[in-house]
């Protein structure tokens, strides 16, 4: 079963927009996102105010690091605020979650004060069940998330569009609103 789960989690998703099997279900209240992949079993998504990371925010060397609590907007953008019950009191708030588009030289997923940027997409995020996908302008749904070790123990940078990245140690991940069944203090323990 573990082998099959690893195979399923490791397969990038590109789904035609008209697929009758999938039913879109955006969360109706604030939610966190959790990454699942080989060796990453439900690590929470956090930010320092610009880049997106996977792991425990309190393990970061940055005082602005906090786990993210999202709100889904009607334009399919995700607005991020710090989950201050789980961390310190950072100065960032109301940031838009975004993925780099194909013209961007960076692969890191990030946060900004705007949904419009020529090199990033801050809208088009849809949920099917608990899974976060991105809807391209063509209408195709994609899940091209991957994690790269950050240099800090058990913290990864969250990236998009693995097809153009040959970084050693990258791990394909899925993002879900479902937290792990047991609390994760150290992402490698999940």
Query: Domain for residue 188, yes or no?
Result: no
What residue numbers bound the domain in which 82 lies?
A: 2-182
Query: Domain for residue 169, yes or no?
Result: yes
Provide the strand spans (E) within 55-128. Answer: 66-72, 78-82, 95-100, 110-112, 116-117, 120-121, 125-128
Mean of the per-residue pLDDT values of the chain: 82
CATH of the domain at 17: 2.80.10
* CB environment 110-120: b (16+ within 10 A), e (fewer): bbeeebebeeb
Under 8 Å between Cβ of 36 and 5: no
Query: Domain for residue 190, yes or no?
Result: no
Query: Domain for residue 126, yes or no?
Result: yes
Residue 13 C-alpha from the chain's centroid? 14
Structural domains counted in the chain: 1
Tens-place pLDDT, residues 19-70: 444 445 667 789 999 999 999 999 999 999 999 999 999 888 898 999 999 9
Query: Domain for residue 26, yes or no?
Result: yes
Query: Domain for residue 160, yes or no?
Result: yes
pTM for the full predicted model: 0.81
Under 8 Å between Cβ of 125 and 72: yes
Query: Could you tell me the pLDDT band of residue 15, with boundaries at 50, 70 and 90?
Result: very low
Under 8 Å between Cβ of 153 and 15: no
Quote the Cα angle for 59-129-50, to 5°. 35
Measured CA to CA, the distance from residue 172 to residue 162 in angstroms comes to 8
């Amino acid at each position: 079963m573990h082998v099959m789960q690893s195979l399923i989690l490791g397969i990038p998703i590109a789904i035609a927009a008209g697929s009758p099997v999938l039913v879109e279900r955006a969360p109706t209240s604030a939610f966190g996102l959790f990454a699942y992949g080989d060796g990453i079993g439900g690590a929470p998504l956090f930010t320092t105010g610009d880049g997106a990371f996977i792991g425990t925010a309190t393990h970061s060397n940055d005082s602005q690091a906090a786990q993210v609590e999202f709100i889904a907007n009607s334009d399919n953008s995700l607005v991020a605020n710090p989950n201050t019950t789980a961390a310190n009191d950072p100065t960032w708030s109301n940031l838009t979650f975004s993925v780099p588009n194909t013209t961007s030289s960076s692969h890191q997923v990030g946060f900004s004060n705007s949904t419009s940027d020529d090199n990033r997409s801050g809208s088009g995020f849809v949920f099917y069940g608990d899974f976060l996908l991105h809807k391209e302008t063509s209408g195709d749904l994609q899940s091209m998330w991957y994690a790269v070790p950050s240099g800090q123990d058990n913290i990864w940078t969250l990236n998009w569009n693995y097809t153009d990245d040959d970084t050693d140690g990258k791990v394909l991940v899925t993002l879900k609103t479902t937290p792990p069944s047991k609390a994760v203090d150290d992402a490698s323990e999940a």
